[in-house]
Amino acid sequence: MIESTHRPSQVVVDLSAIEYNIKQELARLNDEQVLFAVVKANAYGHGAIEVAKACEKAGATGFCVSNLDEALELRSAGLTLPILVLSYVSTNYLDLAISQTISLTAPSLDWLKEAEDYLTQTTLTNPLSVHLKIDTGMGRIGLRDDDEMVQAKELFVLSNHMTLDGIFTHFSCADTKDTSYFELQQQRFTRAMDIFSDLEIPYIHTSNSATALWHDAWNSNMIRFGDALYGLNPSGKTLKLPYELKPALSLTTELIHVKQVSAGEKIGYGATYTAEKEEWIGTLPIGYADGLIRKFQGYHVIIDGEYAEIVGRVCMDQCMIRLSKRYAVGTPVTIFGKNGELENTLDDAAEFIDTINYEIICGLTDRLPRYYLNERINN
């Protein structure tokens, strides 16, 4: 999809907020702990390269992404910090990972064996950097059986082609009030670590944002800091943040058309909205093809420091709002973020469409240009 820059709808990212959030977290870590910034999925919709540069400036030690292409994007942009791919990469691409110094996650014993076979047949001189994933209860990827962990360990001990640079797990319930499942996963990871206790492994990491915020980055000398670095609360509205975070992302647009309609007139596909009296209706150049999904019908955007409801169905490229009075075409409108005294938080928006803040920001499509504030602030 082509980025639409000749249309007044955009994602605005305040890079100083990202730097602030990272510094806040770094201040809580001890001397042995480092922070890897999770910039997968185009930095949760914020723009991977700009965000990664801001994270590096703020003191991140490395980056986590979800696939090889995302890692290569960072390398192509000239970023040289360590990069870990968190999810599966086919062993067909190991040479690419090695040549670009990208660390990969071993999701299974089979993958490790395949990787060893592949590397044995090539003439590459540098070893592949591997982080071994332990599935302690997320049920996604990773080794689960003690026996497989023992075999994996032996494989690393014997291999000249791979180095075990990290061992890690991922918690599924670090952001909930009930900590019993978190504790079960802790116990399983502690047991797994016993198996590897006689190896020197540079990075042990268990902490996503939620674990870092609410569980003291349990058993980690590296944290994988994602949602919170964007200034968002990984629990939504469930748990209170231990320190202030500043949301970095705003979604803004402006009125492209304004008209008055009489009582009884209908708005949008399906004619689902009927004006109750004479009403001012504004049109916004943004719709579900931008990630403003149809469930946002009835949500309030902010114009001139007041709320205005999205009326009628959200279209692919446009939507309509009810205005309190006549506003000029070109008047700015805030969908997410601050406008005057009001703020639409991503958690309010997530609550409105029954999802989590992550899904909204990742859903903002490439059609929206990303603009950056405070790119060159040195604080």
Ligand X SMILES: *Cc1c(COP(=O)(O)O)cnc(C)c1O
Question: Is residue 234 a contact point for ligand X (CB under 6 A)?
Answer: yes
For residues 74 and 52, is the Cβ–Cβ distance under 8 A? Answer: yes
Query: Which of residues 66 and 101 has its CB atom nearest to ligand X in the complex?
Result: 66
In the complex, residue closest to ligand X by CB: 226
Cα(82)–Cα(89) distance, integer angstroms: 17
DSSP state for residue 315 in the 8-state scheme: -
The sign of the torsion formed by the CA atoms of 164, 170, 174, 175 equals: positive
Strands (DSSP E) contained in the chain are 10-14, 34-38, 62-65, 83-85, 102-106, 128-133, 162-168, 203-205, 222-225, 249-254, 257-261, 266-267, 273-274, 279-284, 300-303, 306-311, 319-323, 332-339, 342-344, 370-373
Of 23, 259, 269, 295, the active-site residue reads 269
Count of positions on this chain that bind ligand X (CB under 6 A): 12
Please state, as a whole number, how many other Cβ atoms lie within 10 Å of the Cβ of residue 50: 19
CB of 138 to ligand X, least distance (A): 8
Question: Is residue 131 a contact point for ligand X (CB under 6 A)?
Answer: no
Is 40 tagged catalytic? yes
Residue with token string 């690419």: 96
Q: Select from 157-165, 204-212, 304-312, 349-357 the region that touches ligand X (CB under 6 A).
A: 204-212
Q: Which of residues 305-324 bind ligand X (CB under 6 A)?
A: none
Question: Is residue 62 a contact point for ligand X (CB under 6 A)?
Answer: no
CB of 227 to ligand X, least distance (A): 4
320 annotated to a ligand binding site: no
Cα(262)–Cα(282) distance, integer angstroms: 14
Contact string (CB under 6 A) for ligand X, positions 24-53, x = contact: --------------x-x-------------
Query: Which of residues 124 and 241 has its CB atom nearest to ligand X in the complex?
Result: 241
Question: Is residue 86 a contact point for ligand X (CB under 6 A)?
Answer: yes
Is 269 tagged catalytic? yes
Q: What are phi and psi of 166, to 5 degrees?
A: -160, 155
Query: Which of residues 4 and 233 has its CB atom nearest to ligand X in the complex?
Result: 233
CB of 98 to ligand X, least distance (A): 22
Question: Is residue 224 a contact point for ligand X (CB under 6 A)?
Answer: yes
Question: Is residue 370 a contact point for ligand X (CB under 6 A)?
Answer: no
367 annotated to a ligand binding site: no
Query: Which of residues 235 and 250 has its CB atom nearest to ligand X in the complex?
Result: 235
What is the maximum span of the chain, computed from C-alpha positions, in angstroms? 79
The encoded tokens of residue 49 equal 């390269």
* Binding test (CB under 6 A) with ligand X, winner from 19, 165, 227, 290: 227
Question: Is residue 208 a contact point for ligand X (CB under 6 A)?
Answer: yes
Contact string (CB under 6 A) for ligand X, positions 161-180, x = contact: ---------x----------
CB of 141 to ligand X, least distance (A): 9
Of 40, 53, 288, 372, the active-site residue reads 40
Cα(185)–Cα(190) distance, integer angstroms: 9
Cβ neighbours for 110, distance < 8 A, ≥ 6 positions apart = none
Query: Which of residues 40 and 53 has its CB atom nearest to ligand X in the complex?
Result: 40
Q: Of 248, 346, 222, whose CA–CA distance to 296 is shortest? A: 346
Cβ neighbours for 65, distance < 8 A, ≥ 6 positions apart = 38, 39, 40, 48, 71, 74, 83, 84, 85, 86
Query: Which of residues 108 and 209 has its CB atom nearest to ligand X in the complex?
Result: 209
Binding residues: 140, 316
Binding residues for substrate: 140, 316
Interface residues with ligand X (CB under 6 A) are 38, 40, 86, 170, 208-210, 224-227, 234
Active site residues: 40, 269
